[in-house]
Amino acid sequence: MFKKSERLNRFEFTYFFKIGKKYRFPYFTITYYPSTVRKVAVVVSKKVAKSAVQRNLLKRRITAILYSEVIKNKFMGILIIIVTPPYSSLTRQLAALETKNAIAQVRKSA
């Protein structure tokens, strides 16, 4: 899990969501802004999963994948991941693979 200092607050989320570069993928949209600090946010709407339990499960899974990728590769910057509805239909392994590939593409283009 990311430290409190590595998570976006409401003001930062709004600010970086507006000015960050958006990368669209079939299962989510990633907003990235280069920075010397690492900050992360994961958003799963009710359109993706109706139940709060399911939404939190998806957030935890994505955050775990994100944590391993970001820490392992010493990735710095502001990342906002917004999950789209088809994501909930993926298997756990396929979801992990898609998430890792998307993060790699963002890192490569940054």
Q: In this predicted model, what pLDDT tens digit does every residue of 60-85 receive, in sequence order?
A: 999 999 999 888 888 899 999 999 99
Query: Per residue in 7-42, pLDDT tens?
Result: 999 999 999 999 999 999 999 999 999 999 999 999
Q: What is the pLDDT of residue 89?
A: 87
Q: What is the pLDDT of residue 101?
A: 93
Q: For position 31, which CATH number holds?
A: 3.30.230.10
Mean pLDDT of the 98-105 span? 92
Q: Give me the number of domains the chain comprises.
A: 1
**Are 95 and 27 contacting, i.e. CB atoms less than 8 angstroms apart?**
yes
Q: What is the pLDDT of residue 2?
A: 87
Domain membership of residue 87 as a residue range: 4-109
Can you give the chain as a three-state secondary structure string?
Answer: CCCHHHECCHHHHHHHHHHCEEEECCCEEEEEECCCCEEEEEEECCCCCCCHHHHHHHHHHHHHHHHHHHHHCCCCEEEEEEECHHHHHCCHHHHHHHHHHHHHHHHHHC
